[in-house]
Amino acid sequence: MNKQEERAINLEIHKINRHKNELVLKNAALEAECARLRAVIKQEAETHAAILQQCNAATDAERKKLHALQLELERERDVSHVISANYAHTQFIYNLDFKGKRVAVYSHYSEHDDVENYNMLSLECIEHYFDYIIVLTNCPNKWKLHSPDYSKCHLLAYNLKSDFRNYGLFIIQTAKTLIHAARLCFMNDSFVIVDVSAFGSCMKRLFAENVSHDFVGLTSSHEYTFHVQSYFMCFNAAAVPGILSYFETHGLPANHQAAISQYELGITSYLIERGCSSYAVVSNNDMQFPLNTTCCKWSAVLQAIGIIKRQHFFKKYAYVAMTDADIALVAERHSYNKHFIHFLKYHNVWPS
């Protein structure tokens, strides 16, 4: 091979290498462009997804607002109906004239919009001692009274979630005629009648004609200050004006703590200062350091009155209370009381 041929071959190789390099560079440029386009597409897709997510979130938020507005409108409509119904019913009750009558006011609230068997039992066990029973409840349509006497028992839709707010509102509505009542009883749904016979005997003693006390309760306590515990308080004709005056002076309690400090602890001392005498079946005055009577003396309360506060079953007491073994023993001993057993099973308390 001469030099001229060798030079031609080298030149051809050089051209091939240059073309190859150009192809490599073009390929690299194409790959870079593809990568850029992929990044742009990814970014656009992510932006689109974010916008779509925001739109969906905004749509969901608007849908929830609309649903909440519909619920609020329904609640307002229900409240309006309740107010109208309560006003009409209260006007009817007002015209009944409580003068010389025995009136029981039962405060009931259910988070599940339900009425339990033990609520019915409570009313059945006291109805003999009252001319009128007024039930203040957030679910008046759920009550199915046994052989109801609608001239005696009245259901009012109250949803204030506070016994004393319920009592106060009812007193405001009926004070002009209620002040002449021969007996006024405040009773709530915080206790369960376990021993029906013991409760009946207790009621018979409390409401005996020869009882001279102006206001009575099932239990009293020296915790903080002496007071008749408010889950069951009954006032005779001499004390009724005082209790109405107390509500008129203090208004409705703003919260649970105010209900305890102003009403549960304040009513007893207020009435005693007015010269009224009090009585309770079980007290804790024998305790060196008095604590809640219905908690620490539950056994004595059960024996003397036949009741147990619901807090025991829901473990709401922070100190000495019923154990699971105590609950099981009481349930077995009073298994004949179908209302009590229904309460335990309804709340998955027993059998465990």
pLDDT averaged per 10 residues, the chain (length 352): 75 80 83 86 87 87 85 65 64 80 95 92 95 92 81 84 88 90 96 97 87 92 92 96 94 80 90 95 88 91 97 81 91 95 92 67
For residue 103, what pLDDT is reported?
96
Give the pTM: 0.75
What is the per-residue pLDDT for 264?
Answer: 85
Q: What is the dihedral of CA 247, 251, 134, 155, to 10 degrees?
A: 180
Q: Provide the pLDDT for residue 312.
A: 92
pLDDT at 56: 87
Rounded CA-CA distance 134/127 in Å is 11
- CATH class label, 96-346: alpha beta
pLDDT at residue 1 in the model: 64
Closest CA to 268 of 213, 223, 230, 231: 230
pLDDT of residue 127: 93
Round to whole Å and give the CA distance between 58 and 11: 69
Closest by alpha carbon to 200, among 131, 148, 125?
Answer: 125
| The two structure tokens encoding residue 67 | 């649903």
pLDDT of 23? 80
338-346 helix and 117-126 helix, angle to the nearest 10 degrees: 150
Beta-carbon contacts of residue 117 (< 8 Å; ≥ 6 apart): 338, 339, 342, 343, 346
Closest to 92 (Cα-Cα) out of 146, 159, 150, 148: 150
- Mapped onto helix, strand or coil, the DSSP state of residue 133 is strand
pLDDT of res. 31: 87
